[in-house]
Amino acid sequence: MTLRPFKYPSLRLPAMDKESPRLLLVESDALLADITAFRLELLGYDVATAAGGDEALAKLDAALPDLIILDLHLEDMDGLDMIDRLSNDARTSAVAILAFSIDADLDSVQRAYAAGARDYLVVPYDPAVLEAKIESLLHGVKV
């Protein structure tokens, strides 16, 4: 049996000698969370998920990720309030937040940035755009 090269160059895994960037995905829609986490794990990220704000805060108390992907429409907490809370907490303020939302209107985007989000992604999303935004936030390069 001959192995063919992987045909999706954007689905790359990090070098084994490097620690994978840790992401916290806060998403109340279980299917969207599973699909997104699976994709991010294929890209080589270490992904923890939380179904709501309280669960996310508990995970943040245990360990800080390199990036938080946060749905603005959580069942137990307002996403904008959570972004504001994390941005104003000395312990979590340096962690970049990517707001994740079905709202594409300019007002929603502006409110997310004003609360402290560093970028915004409309759901459903293009997987290549998600990857580019994460890379940009992790490495401080604006795309």
CA distance 85 to 4: 48
Q: Which residue's structure tokens are 């990036």?
A: 67
- Reported as a single tens digit per residue, the pLDDT across 66-93 is 999 999 999 999 999 999 999 999 999 9
Alpha helices in the chain (DSSP H): 30-42, 53-62, 79-87, 106-115, 127-139
Give the pLDDT confidence score for residue 11 in this predicted structure: 46
Q: pLDDT at position 3, please?
A: 45
CATH architecture of 22-139: 3-Layer(aba) Sandwich (3.40)
Tokens for 139?
């490495």
Which pLDDT band holds residue 106 (cuts at 50, 70, 90)? very high
Q: Which two tokens stand for residue 115?
A: 């609360």
State both tokens at 99.
């707001």
Domain range summary for the chain, segments of one domain joined by +: 22-139
The predicted pLDDT at position 107 comes to: 95
Report pLDDT for 140.
79
**Average of per-residue pLDDT across 32-39:** 96
Cα 97–chain centre separation: 7
More confident residue, 72 or 14: 72
